[in-house]
Structure 1
Amino acid sequence: MASLNYDWRDPSLPIGALDSGLGGLSVLREIRKALPLEDLLFACDCGKAPWGDRPGSWIEDRVMKIAGFLTAHRVKAIVVACNTATSAAIDRLRAEFPFPVIGIEPAVKPAVRMTKDGVVGVLATTRTITSNRLESLIERFAGNDRVIPVACPGLMEQVEAGEFHTPKTRRIIEKYVGPLIDQGADTLVLGCTHYPFLADEIQAVAGKDVVIIDPSPAVARFLAQRLTEEGSIRKTAGASAISRFWCTGNPDARTETLQKLWSPEVRMESLEEAWPPLRDEL
């Protein structure tokens, strides 16, 4: 386990979060709602996204490098706001760092509890759909219900491009969601952190009676619980809670989408310039 040169239980320290791209902002916004007094640092790998077709060892190494950047900023917790990264690297992160490390995974358990017709659809990236973690969730919780995993290539890219309500986005959603509804799915799990930004379009395609489950609020609640248990939750406000954002690739190209998803006042900073270990990597 890494030896940190700071007291990570200090309540004044920030919370770090990471993702392959901008989808993790869906988790971060729920953290902001649940923990409005906390400073938040978000680092994403837009220049190398998507991670879904990368080898697991590459993803694990990449996650550890970004986690190193966050710990250099003295974080008191790391949220892995990415299903793919959680599957590939959460165990190593927890072995490496003493502070809370919170991951995210498809919400199969609550979906099975909520389905009335016994058919649940899981929308996710190809790597998440084929992961042992998802297979284990289905085996543990599906019971007699039918859980249908669907890989959704293209949806992440629409979010990264800021195309939330375009005809192209609607066509892609119809391609994946339509067959699930035809098979009787009455509950859909958003198994990628990008997809909550498309929830309105997904709901429109699925129909108003279909339940859509976003696991992000549960992640934020669990983070708050862990910080409370460790005595590191911030209970008094500073001057104002800050939010900072870094990405690999061209930060200017991502700032417009960031501002749509978060706030017009924020901007994206260069992760490679801030953290040299991420430079020049294939």
Structure 2
Amino acid sequence: MSKLITKLSAGAFALLLALPAQAQDTLDAESVVATINGTEITLGHMLIIRAALPDQYQQLPDDVLWDGILDQIVQQTVLSQQAAEEDGRRVTLALENERRALRAAQVIEGVVGSAVTEEAVQSFYEDAYLEGDATEEFNASHILVETEEEAAAIVEELKGGADFAAVAAEKSTGPSGPNGGSLGWFGPGMMVEEFQTAVEGMEVGAISDPVQTQFGWHVITLNEKRIQEAPELDAVRAEIENQLSQQAVTQHIQEATDAADVSRTPKESVDTSVLSNPNLLTE
């Protein structure tokens, strides 16, 4: 916004003094806040600009924003009054696009408002996080080697009392070797299928037989397992609201588009390079 944080000019200040006195609590969107050569500017005009400001300006005090927004409107109005009486093609098309976008956004806002209710959020939370089988998580370590023979020899060594972390640090070719082979906590589907299946069938403290994956041969020990606790609703509320919004908007747009009589010019029948020719707007 041009010169947002500037003081009112003497002319603008005099203009404000000339306006009818109104108590702040009586102002509404139709209240006239300025008149420029007979053109009335209302509080509603200011509110629309205020709502569209970038975040860094949204934090400014209202008295500062008032000055900046009104200055901008006054300057734009003075300049627009100097333009041709009839809107040119560029202005007309831009206004049509802006009106279309604003009306579409208004519909979307209503769709989202209807879909994202407290009841819908609670229902989604219960279905996604509270219903169904509890999810198990696993904490495992592994030793990765190239051949089954090497893995089988390591299994025998571990069953003979060797320390798993020490053997992993010495012999594992995987990136977790220096850390004793520790993989930390993981849930279903986070490991390759053969590895995941082996872990899910193990008891805590057990040593697996050699397990082959695309990476080589693994010897696995299951350190711990636990039931994954459902998060609190507030911790996932934003994610749930976003999913509900996306689902509702996608469905509404699809249904509205399917119900509409839409005719498109086939792309193959036009020279799409016309999109790079802004001079067409002045012809």
TM-score over 0.5 (shorter chain): no
Structure 1 or 2, whichever has the larger Rg, is 2
Task: Specify which structure has the bigger relative contact order, considering alpha-carbon pairs within 8 angstroms and separated by 6 or more residues.
Answer: 1
TM-score by length of 1: 0.20
Higher fraction of helix: 2
